[in-house]
Amino acid sequence: MPAIEVQAITKRFGTFTAVDQISFAVEEGEIFALLGPNGAGKSTLIRMLTTLLPPTSGTARVGGCDIVQDPDGVRRSIGVIPQAMTSDLELSVAENLTVFAKLYGVPRERRRQLMRELLAAVELTQWADQPVKNLSGGMRRRVEIARGLMHEPRIFFLDEPTTGLDPVSRVAVWEMLQRIKAQRGLTVLLTTHYMDEADKLCDRVAIIDHGHLVALDSPLKLKASVPSQNLLEVGFAGAPPDWAERLRHLAAVESVTGEAPVFRIASADGAATTKALIEAAGAAHVTLESLAVQSTTLDDVFVHYTGRQLRDALQEPSWADRSGMVRRR
């Protein structure tokens, strides 16, 4: 049985449809990402799955419990790290963890043991008695991860867990999540708009755009599904006027964009195209000034499935912004 099973779930706010007929399943032990720009519907979807929002239609089962019929069953089996930092800044790390363990009725002895284990797992043992306000952003996020696991949930939801963190802290959080997931046999569902996060951390990725599920597979398979495997950015000196046309006929080239002196070449086989263009440049006495070969990224996958760059989509206002709602951050 899947850990999370979502069937045609929909959420409408007035006339605006934030999530539209989305279905997917997350297997036990997976790290599953909902990838998309702000306003795509990721947070709305995760809020429905964590019982914070009732769906307009459709249903979902989390840990075997229906999110509408048995929300308390869902709440007992999940740990949730919301998008906003929700630890009490005035309380110490240990106090924050204790309060949440008590909310789940974890017995005292088990609580102490779990706190020791989790603080060690998130590398905050020596900070246990420090007020959370004294910690950095990355450390606070680790406190939240430990807090979300104090009742030993089977399924862990994280809403944009690394937003606002510096690159080093982000990598630290990824490593920590992978380690804890392996130790505790967790199923993890997270939302993100970072391509590298979805790519490096997750077993499978669901790309969400404008409330729709547009693609779902492992990062490798998603990248393989995009026709162009590589992108070459090449700078030339002394290129003749028909140079772009000549490049189009080289081995494995699918398209050529840009103007002299820099061209962008989409290729199905980066190595073959590179070799061919070096030979062609030599034969035509054109000087090769720069060459960069880039593999397909999830950004290319996003462009392929949605028709626009994720970084452009990130600039679009979300439904919450449009409806004047205050976003909790």
Query: What are the residues binding other proteins (CB under 8 A)?
Result: 47, 50-54, 71-72, 75-76, 78, 80, 82-86, 88, 100, 103-104, 326, 328-329
How many Cα atoms are found within 13 Å in the side-chain-facing hemisphere of 212?
6
Q: Which is nearer to other proteins, 54 or 238 (CB)?
A: 54
Q: Which is nearer to other proteins, 80 or 265 (CB)?
A: 80
Q: Distance between the two ends of the chain, CA-based, in angstroms?
A: 34
In angstroms, give the least distance from the CB of 170 to other proteins: 21
Burial classification of residue 292, based on how many CB atoms lie within 10 Å of its CB (0-12 exposed, 13-18 middle, 19 or more buried): exposed
Q: Which is nearer to other proteins, 96 or 273 (CB)?
A: 96
Q: Which is nearer to other proteins, 65 or 252 (CB)?
A: 65
Q: Which is nearer to other proteins, 83 or 267 (CB)?
A: 83
In angstroms, give the least distance from the CB of 271 to other proteins: 49
In angstroms, give the least distance from the CB of 127 to other proteins: 20
φ, ψ of residue 215 in degrees (nearest 5): -160, 150
In angstroms, give the least distance from the CB of 201 to other proteins: 22
In angstroms, give the least distance from the CB of 93 to other proteins: 15
Q: Apex CA 39: angle with CA 37 and CA 45, to 5°?
A: 100
In angstroms, give the least distance from the CB of 12 to other proteins: 15
Q: Which is nearer to other proteins, 96 or 230 (CB)?
A: 96
Q: Find out whether 255 and 265 touch, Cβ atoms under 8 Å.
A: yes
In angstroms, give the least distance from the CB of 33 to other proteins: 20
Which residues have CB under 8 Å from 126's CB, separation 6+?
Answer: none
Q: Which is nearer to other proteins, 143 or 250 (CB)?
A: 143
φ, ψ of residue 152 in degrees (nearest 5): 55, 60
In angstroms, give the least distance from the CB of 27 to other proteins: 22
Q: Which is nearer to other proteins, 74 or 207 (CB)?
A: 74
- Tokens 């989409």 belong to 266
Which residues have CB under 8 Å from 311's CB, separation 6+?
Answer: 299
The residue count for the chain: 329
Q: Which is nearer to other proteins, 189 or 222 (CB)?
A: 189
CA distance 5 to 11: 16
Which residues have CB under 8 Å from 65's CB, separation 6+?
Answer: 71, 73, 74, 77
> Is residue 174 within a helix (H) or strand (E), and if so which, with residue range?
helix 167-184
Q: Which two tokens stand for residue 168?
A: 């080093």
Q: How many angstroms from the chain centroid is the CA of residue 80?
A: 16
| Beta strand 78-81 pairing with 155-159 | parallel
In angstroms, give the least distance from the CB of 85 to other proteins: 8
Q: Find out whether 142 and 119 touch, Cβ atoms under 8 Å.
A: no
